[in-house]
Structure 1
Amino acid sequence: MAEAVRARVDAWCWAVRLFPTRSAAGAACRAGHVRINGERAKPATIVVPGDEVHVRGGERERVVIVQRTIVKRVGAAVAVTCYLDRSPAVPPREQVAVAAVRDRGAGRPTKRERREIDRLRGRA
């Protein structure tokens, strides 16, 4: 019977393509953006199959369950077989707030425009 590969959480998250670089995965762990089974994970924390990993990065949170541990980065097709994705659904594009767009070259907003912007944002 083959022994399971011991994998650090930063290396595993990078190997299954949850982060673009291993240093980004380590930085996210140190910042507290990675949790294993509800506990904050340091970069050297070992993951085993069955662990639930919460990764907060960008504009969404990923929740994955470890199926297989790997330490070498693999192709995307192989990477998705190493975890079970339980992430919440991404909100539809209509629900995302649209930022105000100014015409290129229009310069800074005038005092009247700034007041209107503040009124729209509820700061009036």
Structure 2
Amino acid sequence: MQEKVRLDKWLWAARFFKTRALATAAIEAGHINLNGERAKPARLLKIGDVLHIRAPHGHFEIEISLLSDQRRGAELAQTLYQETCASIEKRAREQFAKALQPQFDHPQVKGRPTKKWRRQLSALDHAVIQSREE
């Protein structure tokens, strides 16, 4: 392990992003805050730094516990940081709320709707119109 590592390399090594390019893009877009401030990709990290990460798979608030610029397995990557209790609870609430939201996707959507699906949509439209007239 090293004493200092670039922010974009560490985010990639800790498996928050699949590529360094994606990590760099997220940093430049302002989705990563280091110790409460906006950071640049080449910023050097130290053990104990606090990161706020807004990634497609969730929002994280973490404290860096180890430094590495090599991408390893997921279990080893999770040892590089400690997520705060508040962050864990917040992500759990967000996942629960997302699970409760209704899903409007048709399970067989692959391009244009089939004839059967168009008939179902038409029947639904007619039922909605009739309920409004009543």
Coarse TM-score class (shorter-chain normalised): 0.7 to 0.9
2:36 maps to what in 1?
A: 38
Alignment of 1:84-99 (within 5 A): 84-86=82-84, 87-89=87-89, 90-91=92-93, 95-96=97-98, 97-99=101-103
Once the two structures are TM-superposed, the CA of residue 91 in structure 1 deviates from its matched residue by: 2.6
Once the two structures are TM-superposed, the CA of residue 41 in structure 1 deviates from its matched residue by: 1.1
1:19 maps to what in 2?
A: 17
- Structure with the higher fraction of residues in helix conformation: 2
1:107 maps to what in 2?
A: 118
Count the aligned residue pairs.
111
The Cα offsets for residues 21-78 of structure 1, whole Å up to 9 and x where unpaired, read as 1111111001110110110111111110000011101152011100111111122222
Larger Rg: 2
Unaligned stretches of 5+ residues in structure 2: 109-113, 129-134
Unaligned stretches of 5+ residues in structure 1: 117-124
Identity among equivalent positions (%) equals 32
Cα RMSD (Å): 2.5
Runs (4+) of structure 1 exceeding 3 A deviation are 101-104, 107-110
Q: Residue type matched to 1:107 in 2?
A: R
Q: Return the match for 1:75 from 73, 76, 87.
A: 73
Q: Residue type matched to 1:101 in 2?
A: D
Moved more, 39-48 or 75-84: 75-84
Change in CA separation of 1:22 and 1:93 when aligned onto 2, cut-off 3 Å? closer
Change in CA separation of 1:75 and 1:37 when aligned onto 2, cut-off 3 Å? same
Relative to the length of structure 1, the TM-score reads 0.75
Once the two structures are TM-superposed, the CA of residue 94 in structure 1 deviates from its matched residue by: 5.2
Relative to the length of structure 2, the TM-score reads 0.70
